[in-house]
Amino acid sequence: MNTSLSYHIIIDSIPNNSVSWIELFSSLLTPVIAFLAVYIAYQQYSVNRRRFLFEVYERRLAVYKSIQAFFDEFVKEGNITYESCREFAFNTAEVVFIFDKVIQNKIEEIHKNSIVLAGLNYELHPRSGSSTILSDQERDEIAKKITEQSKWLLKQREMIKGLFQKKMVFK
């Protein structure tokens, strides 16, 4: 038997299923496109998630800044007015949507105590032109309450900072 004939027999015995390169690449194209679609969808999810977290962070930061501005005004003026309490309530109204109950309750507590302090200030220094005359004892009692409320309010400034630091994480 001749060697060329034996090679010919071996080659002829191999099935004739030759796959062209075009068929091979076209069959691989579908999984590659699917993989790219999943990758792009994941990237969009990541970008949108980070954008959402950044927007929540910005809203939280705006609330924090308005609270600090309220405290700054209190320190600067030495008292609280009903108008500043109203502004505080307006600027922190969004709290119920972007913070948990702990911060919501703390801000509500600050607001309520600020209104009490504004009332005490108004009682001590009426602005309506009324001629309510307080005795020295009454003035001393009101001044003592104002001092207590003021000390409490100033302590809340640091407490708020600590509460917000936990929530102002941008990951």
Show the tokens assigned to 161: 């900072």
pLDDT of res. 166:
85
pLDDT at 67: 95
Task: Specify whether the CB–CB gap between 155 and 71 falls below 8 A.
Answer: no
**Which SS3 state, helix, strand or coil, does residue 20 take?**
coil
Question: Which tens digits make up the pLDDT trace of 6-35?
Answer: 656 665 665 666 667 777 777 888 889 999
Share of the chain above pLDDT 90, in %: 54
Task: Give the model's pLDDT for residue 130.
Answer: 62
Question: Hey, what are 116's tokens?
Answer: 């009490």
Q: Does the pLDDT value for residue 151 go beyond 60?
A: yes
Q: How far, in Å, CA of 144 to CA of 170, rounded?
A: 43
Query: What's the CA angle centered on 80, arms 79 and 86, to 5 degrees?
Result: 170
Residue 165, both tokens: 């630091």
Residue whose token pair is 């119920």:
96
Residues 116 and 150: beta-carbon distance below 8 Å: no
Looking at residue 1, its pLDDT comes to 53
d(CA 107, CA 113) in angstroms, rounded, equals: 10
The predicted structure's pLDDT at residue 124? 79
DSSP annotation of 47: H
- Summarised one tens digit per residue, pLDDT across range 41-63 is 999 999 999 999 999 999 999 99
pLDDT tens column, 60-86? 999 999 999 999 999 998 889 999 999
- Tokens coding 150: 């003021």
Residues 6 or more apart whose CB falls under 8 angstroms from that of 66 comprise 88, 91, 92
Q: Per-domain residue ranges for the chain?
A: 62-167
